[in-house]
Amino acid sequence: MEKVQKKYSSIKTIGHFARFYKPHMTLFIIDLVCALLMAVCNLVYPSIARNIINVYAPNKMVNDIIIWSSIMLGIFILKAVLNYSVTYWGHLVGVRIQGDMRLQLFTHLEKLPFSYYDETKVGSIMSRVTNDLFEISELAHHGPEDLFISLITIIGALIMILTINPWLSLIVLVLLPPMFFVIIKLRKQMRTTFAEGREKTAQINASVESSLSGIRVSKSYTAEQHEIEKFDKANEDYKVVRKRNYKVMGKFHTGMNFCMDMLYLATLAAGGLFFAFDIIKSGDMAAYILYISMLIAPIRTFVNLFEQVSQGLTGFVRFEEIMAIAPEKDAEKPVKVDKLNGDITFDHVSFTYRKDSQDVQDLVINDLSLNIKKGETIALVGPSGGGKTTLCNLIPRFYEIDKGSIKIDGIDIKNIALKDLRKNIGIVQQDVFLYGGTVKENIAYGNLDATDEEIINAAKLANIHDFITELPDGYNTYVGERGVKLSGGQKQRVSIARAFLKNPPILILDEATSALDNVTELQIQDSLEKLSKGRTTIVVAHRLSTIKNADEIIVITENGIEERGTHDDLLKKENGVYKDLYIRGMRN
């Protein structure tokens, strides 16, 4: 995962986080009101206990004891109801905020350019979408609620202790500042280690995603042990970071617990001495101990809260890091297009994947000019690394060019809305990706509004209808994760059916048959020729026998366009690049 290291102040981060409460403010307020009432209930019953011990019991006021005991029972019942409300509604607020953030993050991920995914592991992204957002939802629920209850309880308990005896409250006030000093000092260390832990968790997720996605390759090459060793290394790195994490947590909890024990010891000793010298009554002593216990509880909550804040805000910062990455840039005032004709012009186009480099050697495409007329079939051939696939990826603006312009029907593609541009371009690639759904759902990706009849017709044009009808559930047959239940040729036909259903004026065939055997290739070639008919078609070909009938063949090398012409014209060139490639291909 690329490290977009940004320094966020806690206040700024919390301010950004707070905006996610707005759509759920009513539910959030209800949760806080219930939390407030719980805190008030906690503050009331020690005073009742104090009066029972000091007044009602010594004076044998039985009725008052029964009445106030009944009132305490009512308070405890009310607390139980409030506790249920806080637990249920509070968590619901957290889950809804988590859902909003997950949707916002996924929507943003869908809009990020290809260059982001070139540099980022999917497993690392998954860690942010799942683990980080879960911690954020826990913070969204417990953070404000625990903070609110704790503050009310601490302030209320101190006030009540003050009413019992001002000197006792002074002892507490003297001991509290060191405790909060420990919290503040160790909090920074915890946040740093939690951030490291997040990164290592992301690396483990990425390792698992990569290994399991390629499980067939690792088994084929008996490389299971190698994958286990790679995972073990990532796992060991994670354990080292978590060790540091828990070391800081150990200091944090130990320091806080020791401070609270000292607070309890000091107040108990002071209260005992005050009682021994008749400065306070037994009821005051009992109420005092109850309020001290009540004071310690929210301080313990603060301990957990700071840990939760560290985890939650670390996750939120990672969330904001992704949200800060610029999405694909669409035209500010796009030219309205519906159906393009398909005249494509490359005008002195240069492109490099390394945007930070000024070296000409890093240019994948350098000052290339090319005109493709409507309805023509143009084949791009040449050695690997010449930029053929890159050239195709520039037409739908999967990457932004560095210099020059690409125009379709005379309109610069930068001035066409991305959605309008891409709906006019169909792509059939060598590596077909099928989603883990049904055959019908995968074909329908060509046009999500298509009818069943249109989907079936597209399958017939792709010569796969008969095969689909023989499947156990026909078009509703599950194809498996990434289409593993289908052969390479069958997956390719599904992708061709998609393209037929989309019916674009511009078609890109990026080595669409190079991964298939000769028999399957010949069968699919017929479908591709039908698909290409009447469209502007750009074919990236490895097997030159498949592009003999192209209107023009363009030979691209690292030096740019070396040769261009028809199949017959290029074969007539002495020492021509195409002729050499063709002859070597025929020998193989």
Span 497-508, pLDDT tens digits: 888 888 899 999
The yes-or-no verdict on residue 94 having pLDDT over 80 is yes
Domain stops at, among 444, 475, 503? 503
- pLDDT confidence bin for 586, thresholds 50/70/90: low
Q: Which helix (H) or strand (E) holds 378?
A: strand 377-381
123 in the same domain as 19: yes
Quote the pLDDT of residue 408. Answer: 92
CATH of the domain at 527: 3.40.50.300
274 in the same domain as 232: yes
Quote the pLDDT of residue 4. Answer: 39
CATH of the domain at 39: 1.20.1560.10
Average pLDDT over residues 192-205: 69
The yes-or-no verdict on residue 313 having pLDDT over 70 is yes
The yes-or-no verdict on residue 309 having pLDDT over 80 is no
Q: Is residue 522 part of a domain?
A: yes
CA 43/CA 79 separation, integer angstroms: 12
**Token pair recorded at residue 310:** 């560290």
Average pLDDT over residues 226-233: 77
Quote the pLDDT of residue 405. Answer: 92
297 in the same domain as 220: yes
Give the whole-number percent of the chain exceeding pLDDT 70: 87
- Write the pLDDT tens digit of every residue in 133-185: 777 877 777 778 778 788 888 888 788 878 877 887 777 777 777 777 766 67
The yes-or-no verdict on residue 88 having pLDDT over 80 is yes
**Token pair recorded at residue 47:** 């005073």
310 in the same domain as 369: no
Weakest-pLDDT range from 7-21, 76-90, 470-484, 547-561 = 7-21
CA 374/CA 393 separation, integer angstroms: 19
The yes-or-no verdict on residue 89 having pLDDT over 90 is no
- pLDDT confidence bin for 404, thresholds 50/70/90: very high
CA 354/CA 114 separation, integer angstroms: 13
Quote the pLDDT of residue 7. Answer: 43
Q: Is residue 1 part of a domain?
A: no
Q: Is residue 4 part of a domain?
A: no
312 in the same domain as 408: no
The residue among 233 and 341 whose pLDDT is bigger is 341
The residue among 403 and 160 whose pLDDT is bigger is 403
Average pLDDT over residues 273-284: 80
Mean pLDDT for all residues in the chain: 80
Average pLDDT over residues 296-320: 75
- pLDDT confidence bin for 307, thresholds 50/70/90: low
**Amino acid, single-letter form, for residue 5:** Q
- pLDDT confidence bin for 394, thresholds 50/70/90: very high
Picking from 489, 477, 492, 481, the residue whose alpha carbon sits closest to that of residue 440 is: 477
Weakest-pLDDT range from 101-115, 246-260, 489-503 = 246-260
479 in the same domain as 512: no
Domain boundaries, position 396: 335-424+506-588
- Write the pLDDT tens digit of every residue in 459-487: 888 888 988 998 888 989 888 777 778 88
Quote the pLDDT of residue 8. Answer: 43
577 in the same domain as 566: yes
Domain stops at, among 472, 503, 534? 503
The yes-or-no verdict on residue 10 having pLDDT over 60 is no
The yes-or-no verdict on residue 2 having pLDDT over 60 is no
194 in the same domain as 119: yes
Q: Is residue 417 part of a domain?
A: yes
Q: Is residue 2 part of a domain?
A: no
Average pLDDT over residues 519-527: 73
Quote the pLDDT of residue 359. Answer: 60
CA 145/CA 303 separation, integer angstroms: 14
- Write the pLDDT tens digit of every residue in 20-70: 888 888 888 888 888 888 888 888 878 887 788 878 888 888 888 888 888
Q: Is residue 330 part of a domain?
A: no
550 in the same domain as 469: no
The residue among 380 and 358 whose pLDDT is bigger is 380
Weakest-pLDDT range from 120-129, 341-350, 532-541, 570-579 = 120-129
The residue among 266 and 396 whose pLDDT is bigger is 396
The yes-or-no verdict on residue 9 having pLDDT over 60 is no
CA 25/CA 246 separation, integer angstroms: 35
260 in the same domain as 387: no
Q: Is residue 499 part of a domain?
A: yes
How many distinct structural domains can be found in the chain? 3
Report yes or no: 475 and 456 within 8 Å, Cβ to Cβ.
yes
Report yes or no: 461 and 531 within 8 Å, Cβ to Cβ.
yes
Quote the pLDDT of residue 6. Answer: 43
The yes-or-no verdict on residue 214 having pLDDT over 70 is no
Quote the pLDDT of residue 221. Answer: 56
Domain stops at, among 446, 477, 503? 503
Q: Which helix (H) or strand (E) holds 372?
A: strand 365-372
CA 334/CA 323 separation, integer angstroms: 24
- Quick check: helix, strand or coil at residue 564? strand
Average pLDDT over residues 558-576: 84
Weakest-pLDDT range from 258-262, 358-362, 372-376 = 358-362
CA 532/CA 529 separation, integer angstroms: 5
Q: Is residue 29 part of a domain?
A: yes
- Let me know how long the chain is: 588
- pLDDT confidence bin for 3, thresholds 50/70/90: very low
401 in the same domain as 498: no
Average pLDDT over residues 510-532: 73
The yes-or-no verdict on residue 194 having pLDDT over 80 is no
178 in the same domain as 82: yes
CA atoms within 13 Å, Cβ hemisphere of 221? 9
- pLDDT confidence bin for 191, thresholds 50/70/90: low
